[in-house]
Amino acid sequence: MRLYHHGRAGEDVPALLHRHAARIAHVQVADDPGRGRPGSGTLEYPAYFATLQDIGYQGWIGLEYEPARDPAVDYDWLPARGLT
């Protein structure tokens, strides 16, 4: 599920995640505008990640954002031990 596309389209992403929880096999993230890392734009990634935990999602999360080419910036939003 491409959270960037659903969020950018104005969809209720947490509701969408709950509705399709059993069918989600892969998640991709980027923020809007600019397709940057989560937390760099307007999408509600803390709520999205909390919902993923609530539904028990344990699959991969792909990073589909445009990197700044600085690991200290590109990955500073990632928690040290997953999304908990």
The predicted-structure confidence for 5-54, as pLDDT tens digits, reads as follows 999 999 999 999 999 999 999 999 999 999 999 999 999 999 999 999 99
Residue 84 lies in a domain: no
Q: Which two tokens stand for residue 37?
A: 């890392």
Residues 6 or more apart whose Cβ sits within 8 Å of residue 51: 13, 14, 17, 18
* 2, 28 contact by CB (below 8 A): yes
Question: Above 70 in pLDDT, residue 83?
Answer: no
- Looking at the structure of the chain, the number of domains it has is 1
* 32, 8 contact by CB (below 8 A): yes
Residue range of the domain that includes 15: 3-74
- pLDDT attached to residue 76: 87
Rounded (5°) CA angle 10-31-21:
60
Question: Above 60 in pLDDT, residue 84?
Answer: no
Any idea what DSSP says for residue 12? -
